[in-house]
Structure 1
Amino acid sequence: MIITIGGLAGTGTSTAAQKLSQQLNIPYISAGDVFRQMAVEHNMTLLEFSEFAEGNDEIDKALDKRQAKIANEAEDLIVEGRISAFFVNADYKFWLMAPDNTRAERISYREDKSIETVQHEIKERTASEKKRYMEIHEIDIDDLSQYDLIINTKTFDAESTANIILNCIK
């Protein structure tokens, strides 16, 4: 079984994928982890690397190819990433969402930054990603028709979100 979980930063995709992975006892991969690793390899912050990637289509293409290849070779896998559902032939595709203020609070806590700083960063990062996805892949990140289920995670913790996904699969 192949599952994709997508969503903007701070919606809980990584944590939900980890919980679901534990519940189903199947592995997961994260596009965000790969992207962050690539940023470190280039000695850049995540925001700097995101802006750098705007002018370098090969970064996005390499990331997408890496995810799709891993998923195609797997029997059971959870693939977590913003646009993974567009590249991975999955049995189930989920999109997580949350209001911007909820996302900012979560990221602020996770990264130990002020809410104001995070609000500015997610605005820039989201705009940057939307632009890249459209230019490189002609994907409108706001078009959710690709997904089997859309979950607003504002009031759900990761365990509850994973349970919703698990119940949907069952």
Structure 2
Amino acid sequence: MSGTPAVDREIDGNLFVTVSGPPGCGATTLVEGISAALGCGYVSGGELFREIAAERDMSLSQLIAKTGESEEIDRALDRRLRTIAEKWGASSKPFVLESRLAGWIAGNRADVRIWLDAPDEVRADRTASREEMTSEMQVREVIEETRYKSYYGIDLSDRSIYDLAINTGRWDAETTLDIALAAIDGYDIEADEGAFDTPDFEI
């Protein structure tokens, strides 16, 4: 996905929304669209990762390599995400949090949790021009899946916590946004009876 689709409607709701998925799934584009529709801010896990790299005067590739040597960097990122989730989960204001672990970290604080994915070849094509090489991103995916299981007991293949899962290889950015906004617009917190409980965990 590239670019941000035009949004011709506003969604009225003070909802905390999370968007998760692997690199190249279209999460950034979707988050920007939801943010515009809700008229709210958002935070991206990728941006936080880049902030940590800048703070340590490291390139993304160097920081990714460093995560394989120690738990400290991974946990530092997750702690930042947890702090943001706690803040916005208690604020009763609209907000969007994006990261591969956002749905798990936000847990029961989130109102709507969205998972995005696409076939490997589609995601590889979308990420070809990024600073990280596709091979590096694939290695990072495997590392993250392993660490989430070993650190927190989280199985990323478990999609049961998500309210909506979209294969973004099947629909363009605008249609994907329409699907997500329809789910958000139709969500009624007073009538909600279907949320899956997400256990809290230490970071």
Q: Where on the TM-score scale, by shorter chain, does this alignment land: which range?
A: 0.7 to 0.9
Instruction: State whether structure 2 residue 96 is matched by structure 1 residue 78.
Output: yes
Alpha carbons of structure 1 residues 38 and 99: separation in structure 2 relative to 1, 3 Å: same
Deviation (angstroms), 1:33 = 0.7
Counterpart of 1:148 (choices 163, 169, 190) is 163
Instruction: State whether structure 2 residue 33 is matched by structure 1 residue 15.
Output: no
Deviation (angstroms), 1:43 = 3.2
Amino acid at match of 1:136: Y
Q: Structure 1 unaligned segments of length 5 or more: list them.
A: none
Higher share in helix: 1
- d(CA) in 1 for partners of 2:47, 2:69: 21
Alpha carbons of structure 1 residues 161 and 42: separation in structure 2 relative to 1, 3 Å: same
Alpha carbons of structure 1 residues 161 and 144: separation in structure 2 relative to 1, 3 Å: same
Deviation (angstroms), 1:112 = 7.1
After TM superposition, the structure 1 = structure 2 runs for residues 1-170 of structure 1, keeping only pairs within 5 Å, are 1-74=15-88, 75-88=93-106, 89-109=109-129, 111=130, 117-118=133-134, 120-169=135-184, 170=186
The SS at the match of 1:95 is: strand
The SS at the match of 2:128 is: helix
| Length-normalised TM-score, structure 2 | 0.74
Q: Which has the higher contact order (CA 8 A, sep 6+)?
A: 1
- d(CA) in 2 for partners of 1:73, 1:124: 32
**Aligned residue-pair number:** 165
Determine which structure has more spread, i.e. the larger CA radius of gyration. Answer: 2
- d(CA) in 1 for partners of 2:34, 2:95: 10
- d(CA) in 2 for partners of 1:133, 1:71: 18
- d(CA) in 2 for partners of 1:70, 1:97: 24
- d(CA) in 1 for partners of 2:63, 2:146: 14
Amino acid at match of 2:98: E
RMSD in angstroms over aligned alpha carbons?
Answer: 1.8
Amino acid at match of 1:23: A
Cα deviation digits, residues 22-65 of structure 1 (max 9, x gap)? 01111111111101221233233323322312333232222222
The SS at the match of 1:67 is: helix
Alpha carbons of structure 1 residues 60 and 112: separation in structure 2 relative to 1, 3 Å: closer
